[in-house]
Structure formats: C-alpha cells, structure tokens
A and B are shown apart, each in its own frame.
Chain A
Amino acid sequence: MLGRSAWGIFWMARYLERAENTARLLDAGFRMALTRGNTVASDEWRSVLVTLGMDDGYTGDMSGPAITNWLLRGAGNDGSVLSMMEAARTNARMVRTAITREVWEVTNESWMQLQSLLAKPVKEADLGHVLDVIRRQATSVRGAMEGTMLRNDIFNFARIGTHLERADNTARILDVKYHVLLPSAAWVGSRLDNAQWEMVLRSVAGERAFRWLHAGALDPKGIAQFLILDGRFPRSLTYCLRKLTSNMEWLCRDYHQETAAYRMQKEASDKLGKTTITDIFEHGLHEFITEFLATNRLVADAIAADYRFTE
C-alpha cells in the first residue's frame, strides 16, 4: 500500500478515537456539573480543557455551555469534535481506495449528521443527545471496520492509530486527575473525592466494569491499577500497548522486516507488564505518565519513518 495511504488511515483512526474520547470527557464533565455546585463544576470544566491540552487556546468563560460548545464546534478550534470528524472524513476520502464502501459511507454519514447537529450552538438540554450521537457514530465506524475490512496491513495501520490515540487519552486523564488519585489522608472518603473518581471512570467508560470488579468500592490505588494495568479493560494502558505491539508484530511478520518502531514498542510493553502499581506510585504517577506519553510519541514517529508515511 502507499505510504500516504497508511498515513491517512492511521490519522483517520486517531481522529475518530479522539473525537469519541472528547465526547466521553464532556459527558463526564456534564454529569459532574449536574451534581455539584458551580465552583466545583467550573474547576471540572477547566480540567476537561487541560486533559485535552486545549487550555491555552481557550479564551471564553469557564461555564459548561461555553466550554462544551467550544469543544464540540468552536469556530477556529482545530481540536473540536466537528473539526476532528471533518479531518477523519477528509482522510477517509484521501484513502478511499484503502477502505471499504461501508467504512467510507458510515464515516461520511457521521460527518454529515454532525454538521447539521452542530450547525447551531448546542443547548444544555440537547447536550446529552449530541454526545450520545457522537459515541454511537464512533461505534458504527468501528463496527464497519471490524465487519468489512480485510485483515491486512491497512487494517493494522488503522488499529495502530486507534490504540495509540486511546492510550494517550487514558494517560492524559490520569495525569490531570493524579492529585486526586494520590492517597492523601485528608481527602480519602470525602464526597468530592468519590465524585472525582466517578468522573475519571466515566470518561473512559469504565465505571461499570470497575464497580463490577471491585464490588462497588472506590479506592485510588484500585482505580489507577485498573486504568493502567488491567489488561482486560479495553481503555487501559496495558491493553492498548499489548494491542499496539501485536498490530506492529503483524506488520513485521507480513513485511518480513522487524522495524525500529516495533522493537521500541515491544520494550515499552514488556516493561509495563513487569510494573506494579506500587512501583508506579513510588516512582510518581505524574512522572510515569510523562514518560509513557513521550514513549508513545517516539513510537508514532518511528512508525511514520519505518513505513514511509511521508517523504
């Protein structure tokens, strides 16, 4: 396949995943705002911006409607859900011959639907519906890929994009919330604390799984362990890294060539496999995540170079 097509499908998958994650974060923030006072809520909205790395470019007020509209459809906001769906769709159009008709159609339709849904500012009363639509769209595209695409290099480049982006996203949420997750005698057990944890879990669609696994108990170490190390949870760092490694391994086998990116990825994945949550907290959660994100970036760059995404 063309290097440019691999690049296009990789970014198409990343944009789709990022759009979905942004919707999930907004949903969690929205939930928080409904149940907490204004001060707490505006802190929460701020943390949504920080998590997405978009606090610098934002000049509006810290109210829910202002921030949700900025993140969904802000004019000139390249990181808005609408911009990302458009970017995903442009990439899909560019790699039209590499994806199936179903994948293209569901991507194109999602963008068309979102365009009309987000043509005007979203009212608070409609926010739930809009976020729901965005999550469903992501599910439909994923379903079309899963159900119709040949399991070849094209598919693997898409999966690599998805898992890299997802790992990035979970790590960022943890990073922003790390101060609440650090065991601190003063906070443990307070109502605010519980709400914050709920928020973290909700934003990665993990609240139900976590409750089921931990019989309803919320504890910071348990949540961190779940989001970082539980290989059964599809948004955990361990899960994403394992998948990433196996997608890259597939490419190496298919191409009969072990790449630098794969070796780097394998090493990171193996290392994470031997890490315990105690190691992470002793080393410092923030430091751990900073290193994790840096490695992810290096791997992404190495993939682009190994597979000739650009000249």
Chain B
Amino acid sequence: MPSTTISSYDEMLDAEGNVRPAYAGYREWYQAQSPKWLEKQGKNAEDVFRRTGITFNVYGEDAGQERLIPFDMIPRIITADEWKKLSRGIDQRVRALNAFLHDLYHKREIVKAGKLPERLLAQNEAFLPEMVGFTPPGGVYTHIVGIDLVRTGPDDFMVLEDNARTPSGVSYMLENRETMMAMFPDLFTKVQVQPVSDYPRALARSLAACAPPAAQGSDRPVLAVLTPGIFNSAYYEHAFLADQMGAELVEAADLRVVDGRVCMRTTRGWRAIDVLYRRVDDNFLDPLTYNPDSMLGVAGIMDVYRSGGITIANAPGTGIADDKAIYSFMPEIVEFYTGEKPILKNVPTWRCSEADALAYVLDHLSELVVKEVHGSGGYGMLIGPTSSKGEIAAFEKKLRANPDNYIAQPTLSLSTVPIFTKAGLAPRHVDLRPFVLVSPHGINITPGGLTRVALKKGSLVVNSSQGGGTKDSWVLAE
C-alpha cells in the first residue's frame, strides 16, 4: 500500500522534535536502555503471549490457526488532564446511547421531534421489534461499550465508532499491561500510571447490579459468559474474562430453558443463570426468534428475558445504536438526550443515501474513506488516497449500485505514536478504544483502553485482521 502524504500529529514529539509532556518521563527511561536489551525483551514478550495462549483465531484460509496479535513495547501515553476531558465526553456519549436506545424501543420522542428520520429504523436489521416496549433490568442497554477514538491534534479526539454490541479487545488491554509490568518493572516505579487491573471485578459488579427480577433477593447473582466456542476468534478473551470474574464460561450446548429460567448443565444438575454476558450476536441468540439454524444460541431465551428470568448483556437490539447510518446523527442524539453540547466530536460523515451527499462523494472518491453501513473489521471499505484508479473505479460501481449501503468520511490524519523497530523508533498511526461499563449505579471508564497500531509504515488500517498490532495504553497518574 502506498503511504499517505498527510502530515499527522505525533503524540510523542512536536514539530521541532521536542518531547511532549506526556512522554517526558518515559523517554528519559527509554534513552537509558540498551536497544539490544529492549529487542530481547520484545522477543521474550512474544514467547509469553504464546505460552499464555493469548491468541486469536483466523477465519478463512488458515481456519483453525491461532495467531498472535503483534505487541509493540512502546506505550501509548495520555496525560491525566487529557483523560479527564476524554472521560467526560465518553460518559456523556454513553449516557446518550442508553437514553437513545430506551427511547427508540419506547416512545420514539427523537423521531417525533424530527431529529431522526424514521426510515433509518424501519429498514434496519439491527432494530429488534421484540424489544419494543420492554425495559431491560436496571434500565441498562449497553452494559459494555467500546468507543473507538482517533486523534488528529492536541485537543482533537473524535469518535470513529461506538461499539455497543459486543466490543472485544479488553483482554489485550489487561494482558498488555501485565506484560509491560513483567518486562519493565523499574519503568513503573519511575512513571506513575493509573491501573487497569480492576476491570474484571468492575465488570462482575456492574453485571451483578443488573440482575433480573427472578434473582431479586439473592446476594450473589449467577453470572456466565456465553461463547460461540474454542474456534471463535475471541475465545481467549471469553475464557479470560470468565476466569477473572469467577463466572462459568458456557456454550450453547450447555444451556436450556428449564421451568422458565435459562439453565446451564452442571455436574449437579440444571442451574439457573441470572446474568448472561453473551459474546454471541443478536441474530444467533435465540433460534426460536431469530436465525432458526443457529447452533450458538438458546431456544426460548428471549421469552425468558422478557418475563424477567434473565439479564442479557448487552441487551438484544443495541446494535441499532452503533449502526454507521445512525452514527452520523450522534451529535443530535447527544444533544437531544443530555441537553448538552457534545464534548466529543464526530468524524464528518456523508450519508450516500442522500442525493447531494452521494454526488459529492462520487466527485471526491480519491480523497475520502467510504465504508459499508453494516461492515466492520476494516473490510469492504475504500481508502481513497491510497487506492489505485482501478480500485476506485471498481468501488464506484458498487457505490452507485447501492448508495444506501455506504457512508463516506474524510481521510483523517490519525495521530502517530512511535513503535520499536530494529532501526530505532518509528511513528505509526494509532486509534484508541476505551472500555466503558454501565450499571444502574453509574458509568465506569477504565483509564486507558486498547491502542491499536498500524504496523505498516503509512498505513491507516489498525485492525488486527489486517496487520495491526496493539500497545499498552497509559493514563498518567495525577
């Protein structure tokens, strides 16, 4: 892929090559280390990941193969002040997402107020009619959210995507930190970093606080993590979270509806589950309601859910809130439900379903990023500036045939953070996914998150399925 020519904001060094405050302490430490030793530590880290089995499975050609997500040892660092502002913005956005979901499935005030076209809901597969008029236990829709942020300048963080279904990657946030602390213990005595290790306990607490009516009165609701199984790409994470929370890791074959509750088959008999943290998509959740061929779900779980027998996290139907077509309305949505101006910016977005926007997009394909409305993982998208004329022409055909299926955004000059290479530090583009927990008691944001980094020089695609790696993400202590 040819490299971009856009100049980007580097998070470590300013234009004159001076170190920025966030990285001052780290760089001092770094410069005192021998490059040879660092290189050796990097190799050791990879061995640790392999031994621990921190892998993701690849679908397609190498089906069944387990791979490592490359880990880069240079941390991504955010100051306490930057984080405070970010957290306020995230908190606001997540509150709005939950209020929006509740409204969509109840009175639809936002549609009545003319702020959101009804057709976006009517034609949307992510909208689940079964959820209309139903309020999930504790009023929480998105128990776990991953907000994808990109940075383009000192104060410019923008939301690229709201992952409100089943965001993944939190195990990397935790393991990357563990690995860094094991590799460079002295570094953490020199630079004070806010800990992330409380996440699994916070998740368990947060889920337990959303116990369904059927579990009222029990002081320890039964939690379980539902995984599609050991061949799923994120299986390691499912097992990791279950283990860390002390919850059972269940598969569809372990579950059945017994006496109005969703139960798991234990060595002692059927045992009811109160809160199910499912890592299975909506349409596989209940073969009676959705995809009848699903082997990953539980027949009848939606009935149990609606009668108060179980909490499903995240709630079914939350996908409507992170749909790319809805995304472009997020500024209005935030304002409508919080009464405040949005703290975090959206990336400007052209909706190709609108004739004017489509005309503009067709004229500027070589400058824009065009995405499928329902796509994910960096697939099915066009990055104009780095695509050949042939690629653009081929994409144009697809776009003209089905404009409703696409949105377009300017090619952002994502900020860069250095990675470690044999030739020294080299800047690479990054994004950030902080993890947010929602319970009736409030919103909990772990300081840090998952930094994904495009390891190829100039590349803007950070997805692990396409050559991206990860970094430990630090929020400095105050």
The answer to whether A and B interact is yes
Contact B254 A4 (CB under 8 A): yes
Contact A1 B243 (CB under 8 A): no
Contact A1 B267 (CB under 8 A): yes
Which stretch of B47-55, B134-142, B465-473 is in the interface? Answer: B47-55
Which stretch of A35-43, A90-98, A185-193, A230-238 is in the interface? Answer: A90-98
- Least CB distance from A66 to B in Å reads 29
Given contacts A97-B243, A97-B248, contact A3 B51 (CB under 8 A): no
Task: Give every chain B residue within 8 A of A311 (Cβ-Cβ).
Answer: 253, 265
Binding site for B on A (CB under 8 A): 1-6, 90, 93-94, 96-97, 101, 104-105, 108-109, 112, 153, 157, 255, 307-308, 311
Task: Give every chain B residue within 8 A of A94 (Cβ-Cβ).
Answer: 230
A85 to B201: give the CA distance in the assembly, Å.
34
Q: Is B266 an interface residue (CB 8 A)?
A: yes
With beta carbons under 8 angstroms apart, the residue of A97, A112, A153 that contacts B249 is: A97
Task: Give every chain B residue within 8 A of A6 (Cβ-Cβ).
Answer: 267
Contact B269 A308 (CB under 8 A): yes
Task: Determine the residue in chain B with the shortest Cβ distance to A251.
Answer: B267
What does the 1/0 interface line of B424-458 toward A look like (CB < 8 Å)? Answer: 00000000000000000000000000000000000
Within 8 A of A (CB), among B29-59: 50-53
Contact B53 A104 (CB under 8 A): yes
- Least CB distance from A100 to B in Å reads 10
Task: Give every chain B residue within 8 A of A4 (Cβ-Cβ).
Answer: 251, 253-254, 265
Contact B253 A97 (CB under 8 A): no
A-B contact pairs, 9 of them (CB 8 A): A2-B254, A3-B254, A4-B251, A96-B243, A97-B247, A105-B53, A308-B267, A308-B269, A311-B265
Within 8 A of A (CB), among B242-280: 242-243, 247-251, 253-254, 264-269
- Least CB distance from A249 to B in Å reads 15
Task: Give every chain B residue within 8 A of A97 (Cβ-Cβ).
Answer: 239, 242-243, 247-249
With beta carbons under 8 angstroms apart, the residue of B242, B249, B250, B266 that contacts A308 is: B266
With beta carbons under 8 angstroms apart, the residue of A2, A96, A104, A108 that contacts B265 is: A2
A6 to B269: give the CA distance in the assembly, Å.
13
- Max chain A C-beta neighbours (<10 A), residue from B50, B248, B267: B267
Contact A112 B267 (CB under 8 A): no
- Least CB distance from A310 to B in Å reads 8
A90 to B230: give the CA distance in the assembly, Å.
8
Given contacts A4-B254, A108-B51, contact A93 B230 (CB under 8 A): yes
Contact A307 B267 (CB under 8 A): yes
Contact B53 A2 (CB under 8 A): no
Given contacts A153-B267, A255-B268, contact A112 B50 (CB under 8 A): yes
- Least CB distance from A231 to B in Å reads 29
- Least CB distance from A110 to B in Å reads 10
Contact B51 A112 (CB under 8 A): yes
A97 to B230: give the CA distance in the assembly, Å.
12
A2 to B243: give the CA distance in the assembly, Å.
14
With beta carbons under 8 angstroms apart, the residue of B230, B235, B248 that contacts A2 is: B248
Task: Determine the residue in chain A with the shortest Cβ distance to B235.
Answer: A93
Task: Give every chain A residue within 8 A of B52 (Cβ-Cβ).
Answer: 101, 105, 108
Contact B51 A109 (CB under 8 A): yes
Task: Give every chain A residue within 8 A of B249 (Cβ-Cβ).
Answer: 96-97
Task: Give every chain B residue within 8 A of A108 (Cβ-Cβ).
Answer: 51-53
Given contacts A93-B239, A96-B243, A108-B51, contact A1 B265 (CB under 8 A): no
Task: Give every chain B residue within 8 A of A153 (Cβ-Cβ).
Answer: 267
What does the 1/0 interface line of B214-255 toward A look like (CB < 8 Å)? Answer: 000000000000000010000100010011000111110110
A49 to B429: give the CA distance in the assembly, Å.
58
Q: A93-B235, A97-B243, A97-B249 are in contact. List 14 more A-B contacts (CB 8 A).
A: A1-B267, A2-B266, A3-B266, A4-B253, A93-B53, A94-B230, A96-B249, A97-B242, A97-B247, A101-B52, A108-B51, A108-B52, A112-B50, A307-B267
- Least CB distance from B198 to A in Å reads 19
- Least CB distance from B249 to A in Å reads 5
Q: Which 8 A-B pairs have the closest CB atoms?
A: A96-B239, A307-B267, A97-B243, A3-B265, A97-B249, A97-B242, A6-B267, A108-B53
- Least CB distance from A190 to B in Å reads 51
- Least CB distance from B187 to A in Å reads 24
A105 to B50: give the CA distance in the assembly, Å.
9
A178 to B249: give the CA distance in the assembly, Å.
46
A307 to B235: give the CA distance in the assembly, Å.
25
Task: Give every chain A residue within 8 A of B253 (Cβ-Cβ).
Answer: 4, 311
- Max chain A C-beta neighbours (<10 A), residue from B249, B250, B251: B249
- Least CB distance from A116 to B in Å reads 12
A149 to B251: give the CA distance in the assembly, Å.
24
Task: Determine the residue in chain A with the shortest Cβ distance to B256.
Answer: A311
Task: Give every chain B residue within 8 A of A5 (Cβ-Cβ).
Answer: 248
Task: Give every chain B residue within 8 A of A308 (Cβ-Cβ).
Answer: 265-267, 269
- Least CB distance from B406 to A in Å reads 39
Given contacts A2-B264, A308-B269, contact A105 B51 (CB under 8 A): yes
Task: Determine the residue in chain A with the shortest Cβ distance to B241.
Answer: A97
Task: Determine the residue in chain A with the shortest Cβ distance to B243.
Answer: A97
A153 to B268: give the CA distance in the assembly, Å.
11
A3 to B243: give the CA distance in the assembly, Å.
17
What does the 1/0 interface line of B114-157 toward A look like (CB < 8 Å)? Answer: 00000000000000000000000000000000000000000000
Task: Determine the residue in chain B with the shortest Cβ distance to A90.
Answer: B230
